[in-house]
A and B are shown apart, each in its own frame.
Chain A
Amino acid sequence: MKQDIILAGVGGQGILSIAASIGMAAINAGLHLKQAEVHGMSQRGGDVHSDLRISDKEIASDLIPQGKADIIISVEPMESLRYLPMLAPDGWVITNTNPHVNIPNYPDIQDIIKEIRAIPNHIALDANKIANDLGSRRSANIVMLGAASPFINLEYERLEKAIRNIFKTKGEKIIETNLKALKTGCEFAKNYIKK
């Protein structure tokens, strides 16, 4: 088993919380893991991504080779497209459709959605809206993780356990909200594929 995941977003959106959840679940499953992060200059509102690799065998490169990523998880729609050269021919794009507009020349969101729809294997959801409806604006990233969960080669319960662990200092209420965010994202993705 080997899975290469690209996490994409904009500096400050906290993509590393998704990486941490998958990472913890993978380590608890006894898998090998490598995760290249971005720190420094590019964090000031620029585009950021993280290469996350999990495998039952030792992993060589910290970077995912081009055209080899199994999944792109993006918390921002335009950013999901930036990494298409990394995606394997049969890879999946799981993306938020809620745009983060912090540049004057941000393209028309409808055009972006069109490009996303043109990718054969994709899941597109407004994670911010779903999180808001759940009453927890800040859980959008976990909604995204949930939407990606059917494609990640890790048992769902392991992701739940990782979330429990990561939010353990924040109290039971926040843990429950995030578990619900995970579930809602997951169900959305399952229904999306059926359609």
Chain B
Amino acid sequence: MKKLLLLGDEAIAQGAIDAGLSGIYAYPGTPSTEIMEYVLKSKEAKEKNIRSGWAANEKTAMEASLGMSYTGKRAMVCMKHVGLNVAADPFINSAITGAIGGLIVVVADDPSMHSSQNEQDSRFYGKFAMIPTLEPANQQEAYDMIHYGFGLSEKFGTPVLVRLSTRLAHSRAGIERKDIREQNEIHLPGDLKQFILLPANARRRYKILLQNQPHFEEESDNSVLNRYFEGSDKSLGIIACGIAYNYLLENHPDRNIPFPVLKLGQYPIPYSKMERLYNECKEILVLEDGYPFVEEIIKSYFGLGKKIKGRLDGTIPRDGELNPNIVEKALGMEIAETRTIPELVANRPPKLCDGCPHIYSYNALNEALAEYTKGRVFSDIGCYTLGALKPYEAINTCVDMGASITMAKGAADAGFTPTIAVIGDSTFTHSGMTGLLDAVNDNSSITVVILDNSTVAMTGGQKSSATDKIEAICEALGVEKDHIIVMDPSPKQHEKNTKIFKKEIEYKGVSVIIPRRECIQTAAKRLKKEKRNL
């Protein structure tokens, strides 16, 4: 069969389509975005009537996928690592309710923070929720794991977490497809109380989850994803999780590794295989992308004083993603000298595109704020976060999606007025609306600037849930109509916009300013498409 050349993300999407998926839910976030994008573009998915489309945020996506699983159909939900913080409540509770139709939660971690605020490791969430967690080593495994994961999910009636990281998500390789499964028919839980997490039911369901733990461990111990490779040199035993295994192989071009190796792809950790490695070898080296998750377990569980090498003892840097050279060094191999980067090479940080509407919003806002002391602009996550850099230096915070409005409110509550919140349209409907309600209810003295570029630009221009709804939402949340003002962020309107900003910043209460102009990248794409369709 002909191989498909797919990104890790796309392999997951194709795997799900082939494994009898009925619906996929997601909010964009690098490096997970391409999973949904692939399904949105897939002709096959359309023919099979697979539900797809962007959700307002990760929590709504997670809950919708749980609802689909409740009906007996297979569902998948995808997000970046910090998205799981947003979806944590339904995620953890879905482990208690259990799943009916196969339910897979795909989370893409971003070690080294290529496009993120932190490098949290989602395997901890899998352990926290006490559900099986899978971690592919390559694109083919990513594809196969979705078939396998749905099987596991339906066998035990549990959600399954699939964790991958940037390198695999955004790397292409040839994959071979497997047999195609039909979608499930609707079949509700046999016990219609299963999903009612009232304490009496919840306690019962929690016991079932606990009873499942030894089964999950047994599955891990017997799993083809957790393979023990013999090795004659027992001076070292190596545990390699997910893509770390590739870096280990890369350093043994003949594929002959002298040491025993445990390749990990399924959690909870396979205790017997791990115990065997621990007992057989003099020292243990743990290779894992992300936090020292396995390393900590092996240290505490088997902690009989053997030397464990990894991120905790400094064999591997404590932060940042792995690569072949870090693993080479950890194996004690000699590192060849390389050329250096000539001194004249300058950094080239990302920046707002020329002509980006955000530029003109910041220019006017900066001028309006010139007469105030600095440090008043609370911002959020999106392209507009680049307004933190020169020449704008227009914002003072960026923490998590939605935090601009609520932090501006908190600072205003402290008596530091006026404060300004700057938030993108998609971020506003993701997590800004509830904060705005708080501010209205307290009549906080804040000015909320909702930068409406009619798209989710940062992640590549997905459809924004906010489009055409922002004024109506603000009004419904109780913002006074006279203080909901739309402006055109363009150089021509600079004077006028500066005046509007000044006036609303002075206003003692909640005002909302909406600079509205389409992102130029999205506009260019749209025009190209329209031209093609003519």
Contacts and interface: CB of A to CB of B under 8 A. Distances in A.
Contacts of B248: 60
Contact of A37 (B172, B243, B347, B348): B172
Interface stretch (B46-54, B336-344, B424-432, B485-493): B336-344
Contact of A45 (B171, B342, B351): B351
Given A39-B170, A42-B350, A102-B351, A27 B3 contact: yes
Contacts of A84: 338-342
Interface centre among B174, B247, B353 (most CB of A within 10 A): B174
B192 to A, nearest CB: 43
B325 to A, nearest CB: 5
Interface stretch (A103-111, A130-138, A139-147, A178-186): A103-111
A14 interface: no
Contacts of A103: 346-349
A41 B350 contact: yes
B5 interface: yes
Contacts of B459: 40
A11 B243 CA distance: 26
A115 interface: yes
Interface in A25-56: 27, 32-47, 51
A125 interface: no
Interface string B2-37: 010101000000000000000000000011011000
A103 B342 CA distance: 18
A41 B30 contact: yes
A82 B341 contact: yes
B115 interface: yes
B115 A60 contact: no
B246 interface: yes
Contacts of B328: 65
A10 interface: yes
A11 B340 CA distance: 23
A34 B353 CA distance: 30
B174 A27 contact: yes
B5 A27 contact: yes
B174 A106 contact: no
Contact of A62 (B246, B325, B341, B460): B246
B344 to A, nearest CB: 4
A3 to B, nearest CB: 14
Interface string B444-464: 000000000000001110000
Contacts of A60: 246-250
A18 interface: no
Contact of A82 (B7, B250, B345, B353): B345
A85 B167 contact: no
A152 interface: no
Contacts of A44: 350-353, 383, 386
B496 interface: no
A148 B459 CA distance: 31
Interface string B164-175: 000110111110
Given A35-B172, A62-B243, A115 B342 contact: yes
Nearest to A67: B338
A85 B459 CA distance: 30
A107 B346 contact: yes
B498 interface: no
Nearest to B385: A41
Contacts of A39: 30-31, 33-34, 115, 170, 460
Mostly helix, strand, loop or mixed at chain B's interface? Answer: loop
A64 B86 CA distance: 35
Contact of B344 (A46, A102, A107): A107
Given A27-B5, A62-B168, A84-B339, A45 B348 contact: yes
A12 B269 CA distance: 42
Contacts of B246: 60-62
A78 B347 CA distance: 10
A165 interface: no
B336 A67 contact: yes
Contact of A63 (B323, B339, B353, B383): B323
A149 to B, nearest CB: 20
Contacts of A23: 5, 172
A1 B352 CA distance: 42
Contacts of A42: 114-115, 350
B174 A32 contact: yes
A81 B324 contact: no
B172 A46 contact: no
Given A62-B246, A82-B341, A43 B172 contact: no
B346 A115 contact: no
Nearest to A51: B171
B458 A41 contact: yes
A163 interface: no
Contact of A81 (B31, B170, B247, B341): B341
A117 to B, nearest CB: 12
A84 B3 CA distance: 33
Given A27-B3, A35-B172, A106-B346, A65 B325 contact: yes
Nearest to B9: A39
Contacts of A24: 5
Given A40-B31, A40-B459, A62-B246, A105 B346 contact: yes
Contacts of B173: 32-35, 59, 62
A78 B246 CA distance: 31
Given A23-B5, A45-B348, A61-B250, A81 B353 contact: no
A175 interface: no
B31 to A, nearest CB: 7
A154 interface: no
A111 to B, nearest CB: 6
A148 B282 CA distance: 49
B448 to A, nearest CB: 25
11 contacts: A10-B348, A27-B5, A33-B173, A35-B173, A36-B170, A36-B171, A37-B172, A39-B30, A61-B249, A62-B167, A84-B341
Given A33-B174, A39-B34, A67-B337, 17 more contacts: A27-B3, A33-B173, A34-B171, A34-B172, A36-B167, A41-B458, A45-B348, A59-B173, A61-B247, A65-B325, A81-B341, A82-B345, A85-B340, A87-B339, A103-B349, A107-B346, A115-B344
Interface of B: 3, 5, 7, 30-31, 33-34, 114-115, 167-168, 170-174, 243, 246-250, 323-325, 328, 336-342, 344-353, 383, 386, 458-460
